[in-house]
Structures are given as C-alpha cells and as structure tokens.
Amino acid sequence: MGLAALILGGWALGSMVLAENPANQAVASISRFTGEVRIQQHGQWIPAYRTAFLFSGDQVMTGKGRAEVQFTDGSLLTLTQFCTVTVREDAADSSWLGLFQQEFTRRTVALAQGKLWFDVRPETGVETALETPTVVCGILGTAGEIGHNASQGSVVGLSRGLAQVTSKATGLSVRLRANQRTRVTGEGPPEPPESYTPPPPPLVELSADAIPDQPEPLFTGREPGEKFGPGAGEGEFQVNLPAPPTGGDSGSGSVSP
C-alpha cells in the first residue's frame, strides 16, 4: 500500500474512539469578512464580527458577502457568496492493529450549498474531510476548491496535494492530484479526473472591525433554489461557465474552467 493510500484510506485496520470537542473549545475563527455573513451558534443566528470564535457544530452562512475561516492549525477556508458551511471537530484515539496508539483530531467541513476554497495544512495531527450532500473528500496538505448546488451536483478541484473523492450514493471513489478535478451529479459515481487550471481564491478585502450596521435582510429576493445557475451573481457556484476570469474580481466564476 502506497503512502497516498495510507493518508487517504483512514484507519481501516485499527480501532478508533471519537469524542466530540468540548463545547467551550474554539476550533476556528472568522479572520476576515465583508458583506453579509452570519454565524449560527447554539441554534441562534448572529451577524459575523472579526475574530468571532467558531465551535464544533457551528455554521457560517454568507449572503452577498465573503468570509475567511481560519482553524487553530492555520488551515484556511474562503467562502464565496451564498454559501452555507458547518464545521465540526472530534478528538480521535486510534490503535493500529492493537499495537500503536495515536491521538489526532478529525475535522469535517460540510458544505450544504455554494463554493469555497480550502488550504489545509499538512502534518498538524488533523484528519480533514470535506463533505457536500453528494460527496466525501479526504484531504491532507491539500489546496483547492469545492462547490455544490442541488441541480448541478458537486465539483472538486485541486491546486495542490492529493484528495480521494467518494460518491455518497455509490461508494465509488476517484483519486485527484494537483491540477485535476472531478464532479458528481445526482446519484452517479465521480467522473474520471480531468485536467484544469485552478483559479486563485477570491480576496476578502475588508477586515471588519465590528458587527455590520444593517445585517438584515440576508437573502433579499432569493430563495435557496434561485441562487445558482447561468446568470447567477458574483461568487455563486456555476458548473458550466467556459473559463475562470483572468482579471478583475477573482470572486466571480466557477469551479469549472
């Protein structure tokens, strides 16, 4: 078994105990944001503010805005417009064939809709998985983008590292390397990896100092089913655009070139 298989294959031969992170232990924070961004904590939605702590199980939702989420190990997420993400961390304790004991953190970033960029630090004792409603993506020391909407499915593309993308419906997987992407539509398997040129993550220009003056309304005139597809606004996830932008605002565009 190769090194990549060990990295991405998990701990199948061992035993594992998971314990949810303590409720009072922050796992990440809002490092920068601009525009309409909210956080759900303990079932309550509040406007985002700079350095707001995120705890296991918290959600971040963007409207006409963007946000950077920085984890305690330095890993970074960049959320575009109309994006909903849940972050979770569990303390894991595993043994390999009953011989070796290893403690690590299992982190899950669940993207319900929209598009985000990720830059996951290697060698931090954290095992990271990205999820959408249709895929699970195991990553380590990896950078790229992932997007999902209900009508077009999920797309994963890498600019660095390795990833194993698994269809939740079929259980079938593909292995991605840098400058490759795959997509999963409906209940089908992942498409074979194809080459692509990853666009840079969007800039989050404003490091906000306070809660926005007028956080309402968050999604004026838009319902969840109306946020995607041809003609959608800046930063929204579109599979079928011909190419990412080569200049101007890097927040526009899609996972697909």
Q: Are 126 and 107 in contact (CB under 8 A)?
A: yes
Which pLDDT belongs to residue 141? 87
User: Position 124: which residue type?
Assistant: T
Which tens digit of pLDDT belongs to each residue from 106-122? Answer: 999 999 999 999 999 88
In a domain, 191, yes or no: yes
In a domain, 250, yes or no: no
pLDDT < 70 positions in the chain = 1-24, 93-102, 206-257
pTM of the shown model: 0.71
Which pLDDT belongs to residue 43? 84
In a domain, 91, yes or no: yes
In a domain, 245, yes or no: no
Report how far apart, in Å, the C-alpha atoms of 98 and of each of 30, 94, 245 are.
39, 9, 52
Domain that holds residue 50: 3-226
234: helix, coil or strand? coil
Which pLDDT belongs to residue 122? 86
Which pLDDT belongs to residue 83? 97
| Structural domains in the chain (count) | 1
Which pLDDT belongs to residue 195? 96
In a domain, 126, yes or no: yes
81 backbone dihedrals φ, ψ, rounded to 5°: -65, 150
Domain CATH number, residue 67: 2.60.120.1440
In angstroms, the CA 120 to CA 73 distance is 9
In a domain, 68, yes or no: yes
In a domain, 14, yes or no: yes
In a domain, 235, yes or no: no
